[in-house]
Copies of this chain bind each other. A is one copy, B any other.
Amino acid sequence: MSRPFENIAFISSTTEETVLVRQKLAHRFGSVPPDEADVIVALGGDGLMLQTLHRHMNSTIPIYGMNCGSIGFLMNEYGEDGLIERLENAELSEIRPLHMSATTSDGKIHEALAINEISVFRQTAQAAKLEIQIDDKVRMEELICDGALVATPTGSTAYNLSAHGPILPIDSPLLALTPISPFRPRHWRGALLANSAKVKLVVKEPNKRPLSAVADHTEIRSVLEVEIREDTENSCIIMFDPEHGWAERILTEQFRY
C-alpha cells in the first residue's frame, strides 16, 4: 500500500496538557493546517471528536482521534510511536449524520446536523407535551415527558443509553427514538425505527410549555416542531485501529454492566 498520509494536521482541545501533546507530535511528525491535510489527528476526548467531525463534514478528510485523559468512546488509545503505521492500518468508517429541521415560533426554520443524537427538552419546569409522527402518520398523540431524542447507532451509547434506550450495533440500519423521563404514557420505552424513517415531533401548547431542540451541541430554543431524518447527502470519516474498531467497541459496550 502506498503511503497515503503525507500531510497530517494535529489539532487538540484547549487544556494545557493536550496543547503540549499537540506541540510535541507536530514537532515530531510535522503538521499542516486541516484544509491541507490528508488526515486529521484529534487529541482530546469525545467532545473534541464530535466538534472535529462536524467541522470537517463532507471534506473527505478522515479523522483519527487519540485519547488524552478520560476514556473516549470515539478515540483510539494514545501513543506516539508507530503513529504513521497506525494511521496506515486504521479502518475507515463512514458516518451519516442526522438532519434536523426545527421550526421556531417566529416562523424561521433552523437546520443542523448531529452525529450522536437530536433531542428536545423542556425549557421550564412545565413538562413537555409532544405529538409523534413517523413518516407523516401520527403514532402517538401525546407524550408527556421531559423530552425525547432520536439517536444514531453511533450515538446509541451516549445520551440514548442514559435515557434507557438500547445500544445499536454500529452497522444496523436503525434509529432509536427514546423518551426522556416519560410521564404519560408512563412506561413507554420508545421505538426502534428503520433509518429511512422521518420523525416529526410536534410541540403542543408551546407557549405554556416551551421546548428547545439540540443537535449534538447546536441548541435551538422555543421550537414548534422538529423534523429528524438520516442525512443522505452529508458524511464524515472516522478512523479506528483494527481490533478496536467500532463494531467491537459497541459489542463490548453491550456486555458492560
A residues touching B (Cβ–Cβ < 8 Å)?
Answer: 125, 132, 134, 139-140, 145-146, 159, 161-164, 166-169, 171-174, 180-183, 185-194, 214, 217, 219, 247, 251, 254-257
Contacts and interface: CB of A to CB of B under 8 A. Distances in A.
A251 B134 contact: yes
A185 B193 CA distance: 23
B164 A192 contact: no
Copies in the assembly, this chain: 4
A62 to B, nearest CB: 24
Contact of A169 (B125, B145, B193, B251): B193
A183 B162 contact: yes
Given A134-B251, A191-B251, A256 B169 contact: no
A125 B186 contact: no
Given A162-B145, A173-B172, A167 B181 contact: no
Given A132-B255, A145-B162, 15 more contacts: A140-B255, A159-B181, A161-B183, A162-B181, A162-B186, A163-B181, A166-B189, A167-B192, A169-B174, A172-B172, A172-B173, A186-B257, A187-B189, A191-B255, A193-B251
Contacts of A182: 162
A207 B185 CA distance: 35
Among A132, A190, A257, max chain B CB count under 10 A is at A257
